Amino acid sequence: MATQIVIANDDYIKIDDNFKILWADKGKNWVDAWCPNNYHYVIWNNLAGQNEIQTKDPATGNMTGNTDLNATTDAVGSTTVADLLTWAETRKGQIEAAKTALQTAIDADKENGSTNAEGKTWIDYDSNYS
């Protein structure tokens, strides 16, 4: 399971400080209620500063406050920090597997002279994409 997650709502999700998922790539198993549109950031990491949910007014984008996160059982939208960490590790694995599948297809094309992978991206090999 991932140990850190930073969600920049509508932008990206960063996992364990070394893996970034663009918002468009979050996949079909993401539930929008986990990060309502009044959330600006969800921060759960081991860096200096409070783990928290930063909220905003969706109409103006102005910050409206913070809610501290103190335990993995704390609520984030309709889920918990722990469930987000589990989702993050799963999604990371899905993306890595899709990238490996693409590379395998590219390597096979080189070996046998085919063009099966031509013009494709890892998304074409990710059954968990949207």
**CB burial class (10 A; 0-12, 13-18, 19+) of residue 35?**
buried
Considering only CA atoms, give the Rg of the chain: 17
Rounded to the nearest 5°, which phi and psi values hold at 90?
A: -65, -50
Model-level pTM?
0.94
Q: What one-letter code names the amino acid at 118?
A: E
Digitized pLDDT (tens) for each residue of the chain, 130 residues in all: 899 999 999 999 999 989 999 999 999 999 999 999 999 999 999 988 999 999 999 999 999 999 999 999 999 999 999 999 999 999 999 999 999 999 999 999 999 999 999 999 999 999 999 8
Alpha helices in 4-129 (DSSP H): 81-112
